[in-house]
Amino acid sequence: MARKIVAGNWKMNKTVNEGVQLVEDLKNELAKVDASDVTVVVSPPYVNLSEAVKAAGGSAVNVSAQNVHQEASGAYTGEISAEMLKSVGVGYVIIGHSERREYFGENSTDIAKKVDAVLAQGLTPIYCCGEVKEERESGQQNKIVGGQIEAELFHLSAEDFAKVVIAYEPVWAIGTGLTASPDQAQDMHAFIRSCVTEQYGEGIANETPILYGGSCKPSNAAEIFGKKDVDGGLIGGASLKAEDFIGIITAFN
Ligand code: 13P
């Protein structure tokens, strides 16, 4: 069985102080519930990472970055390397989010290299894939997502692949209030796991956490997380308030 993970992606929200407060609120909420079998992750903006790591210190809250540059160092104004992220104490890095693909032109070559850069520093990639609305409407979602993971992850050795967390985020469900139905999520997660099985074998496939992301809320998380191949969620809007986020963290049956 893959481990359960609920990761919050704060996107471009929260100042440093607001971020510290959110981590403190989350720690307080977590102390009231039994969620010891769930890995909890928050992903603040870059400038908040150091303070978030300090605030999370000694608690069950793990800290992730939202992006990374693929090169180790050099003349890349405005960019941040995996080694820099490691140096502030983050453990996870979101890679290939659809907003990075759409607004910042990230392509499969960049994303594959980012995965390598993160793994080389001993950090855990939270790798995002997902189809856009037109691709879903024309029934191409498996071809699209299968193609993404093949081009961006399947160059990895089995040993490295076993460290990757996958997040399936149908682009049409992100921030739109539209969620994939639990069955649509299950179908895609089972498909992704079958691709991983073919490439790396059943043992690794069964241990790979596959998270769902896209308008996940306390009110719909239990139904989605109840599906066999859904191991948790990557949460945007509902991760910005501790009480909503805790409602999702505790949604596993
Ligand atoms: P929402 O939960 O706001 O739809 O965002 C999902 C997402 O993009 C998480 O990375």
pLDDT the model gives residue 164: 98
Which of 6, 10, 11, when mutated, tests ligand 1's pocket best, judged by the most ligand atoms within 8 Å of its CB? 11
- pLDDT cut 90: percent of the chain above it: 97
Those residues with Cβ within 8 angstroms of residue 125's Cβ, 6 or more apart along the chain or in another chain: 92, 93, 95, 114, 115, 118, 119, 163, 164, 165
Q: Is the pLDDT of residue 253 over 80?
A: no
For residue 8, what is the enclosing H or E element? strand 4-9
Looking at residues 93-104, what average pLDDT do you find?
98
Least confident of 3-7, 82-86, 175-179, 231-235: 175-179
**What type of residue is 125?**
P
Residue 101's CB is within 10 A of a number of other CB atoms, namely: 20
Task: Write out pLDDT tens, residues 28-53.
Answer: 999 999 999 999 999 999 999 999 99
Question: 67 CB under 6 A from ligand 1?
Answer: no
**The CATH number of domain 4-252, selected from 3.20.20.70, 3.90.1150.10, 3.40.50.970, 1.10.10.410:** 3.20.20.70
Looking at residues 16-32, what average pLDDT do you find?
97
pLDDT the model gives residue 179: 87
Q: Rounded to an integer, what distance in angstroms lies between the CA atom of residue 165 and that of residue 93? A: 10
Sorting pLDDT into bands at 50, 70 and 90, what band is 177? confident
Question: 48 CB under 6 A from ligand 1?
Answer: no
**What type of residue is 7?**
A
Looking at residues 13-42, what average pLDDT do you find?
97
pLDDT the model gives residue 175: 87
In the reported structure, the alpha carbon of residue 216 is separated from the centroid of ligand 1 by a whole-number distance in angstroms of 7
Alpha carbon 45 to its chain centroid, in Å, reads 14
pTM score of the predicted model = 0.98
Q: Where are the domains of the chain?
A: 4-252
Looking at residues 128-133, what average pLDDT do you find?
97
Question: 234 CB under 6 A from ligand 1?
Answer: yes
Question: 62 CB under 6 A from ligand 1?
Answer: no
Q: Which two tokens stand for residue 153?
A: 């992850």
Q: Is the pLDDT of residue 71 over 90?
A: yes
Ligand 1 nearest atom to the CA of residue 99, by list position: 8
Q: How far is CA 234 from CA 54, 90, 139, 168, in A?
A: 22, 17, 24, 8
The SS3 assignment for 93 reads strand
Q: Is the pLDDT of residue 152 over 80?
A: yes
Looking at residues 232-246, what average pLDDT do you find?
98
Q: Which long-range contacts (CB under 8 A, 24 or more apart) does 110-115 make?
A: 110/70, 111/152, 112/151, 112/152, 112/153, 112/155, 113/70, 114/67, 114/68, 114/69, 114/70, 115/152, 115/153, 115/156, 115/164
For residue 30, what is the enclosing H or E element? helix 16-31
Question: Angle between the 108-120 and 141-152 helix axes, to the nearest 10 degrees?
Answer: 50
Q: Which two tokens stand for residue 90?
A: 């983050």
